[in-house]
A and B are shown apart, each in its own frame.
Chain A
Amino acid sequence: MDNCGQFEIEEKLVPPEGDHNSKRLIGPLSNYEVYQFFKETKEGNVRGPKHANANKWKYNTHLNTVTYEVLQYLQQTPCVVQSPEIIEEFLTKLHPYNLTKSERLTILNTRPLQPVDIQAIVEESEERLTESQIEEILDIVDSTLPPLNVNVEAKKNDGPQE
């Protein structure tokens, strides 16, 4: 998650692995990770404080647009009040329910509160989960993931320490 900027430069005459213009799907990112990334981008210190130079980012209008719009969107989602510890605890507690990775990710990103939300997210939920299990999942969501409503204060507490 935090390994930006830690890589090795290959000074060899052979090209790095991978064909020219190859693309490979690595895997999904949670909203929280993307939010953190763009928050750092916005502050201009994504490569560490020694390279912090706001001007570098200023002239890339596309990146600025993306940063602004994604933050606008994500600031209204529950990811702003999450933290790696919360997410880990949440995923551990969710482990016994045999949900797929994408289902857990969606639950994490959307923080469902109603049984119907779970039924929409989980495929064939009638067969895979009993009603009491759905209630348990909702309890886990409610107890581990902080609600969005308090995020205004939380964000303010979060802000100055950066």
Chain B
Amino acid sequence: MKDTVLRTPLKAINWSRLQDDKDLEVWNRLTVNFWLPEKVPLSNDVPSWATLRPEERELTIRVFTGLTLLDTVQNTIGAPAMMPDAQTPHEEAVLSNISFMEAVHARSYSSIFSTLCLTKEVDEAFRWSEENPHLQAKARLILEEYKAGSDPLKRKIASVFLESFLFYSGFYLPMYWSSRAKLTNTADLIRLIIRDEAVHGYYIGYKYQRALEKLPEARQQELKDFAFALMFDLYEIEQKYTAELYDGIGLTEDVKAFLHYNANKALQNLGYEALFPPQACEVNPAILAALSPDSENHDFFSGSGSSYVIGKAVATEDEDWDF
């Protein structure tokens, strides 16, 4: 009489009964932002790719295989590992979206490769990614926290650091090329990835903060200490990884400022204060402009731009505004 055995009922997800409004808000944001690499005309970058020197091409392919590895980890291990920790069924659904988009990101780098590069060059770079000790070390450090049985909150810390910090030694390069009017379509695609990662880091960091506030103070302090210690360890590796990649074109120091700036933002996603002082985070303005193009500075206090500029028309939800 198996059917009569009392069991916990299996529950279907009901999006009309939310326990946390942030789940729907982020679900909507992610689904509206959905994209595929086919949307970006990468082949327009073929002439530009030909203007790069061989060592610049090799660097670019290596950077992209490094990014592919992190996306693969997050797609197949990171996001799924957080699902059993979810506090709401809607959080699990959001994580399944995050997981899938990481697969899209990983797939996108191969679209870039197949459009711009020779198979031999790409194969070599994938081999490099398997043999590079720094790249392997940072991925392994994250995977350590993703293991079954590890602390769910430490898993979220590791995940936010992957999404909001570890990608940026790589994202720097397409932003740099774009600031020099090279590989601009590739940069458009990378900006779509950067936008997604920002939502992922924000959301996982938000869930971390919700769980943290329920814990006793001693435990909160333990997790904060863990977060800063992990950041230090990852930063150590990132420094070496960055130097190995960028010393050849003399950009290491410029990339490091970008790393510091993003490390601080990753910590802010977890609700923590900055680690690196402002003078260590002075990112090259050309890189910042490449990150958010067309978002020219209208700041009144900063004194840049014309003095009393009223914002230009922006797509908005007019029906929600009565006036």
Chain A complexes with chain B:
no
Q: Which residues of A contact B (CB under 8 A)?
A: none
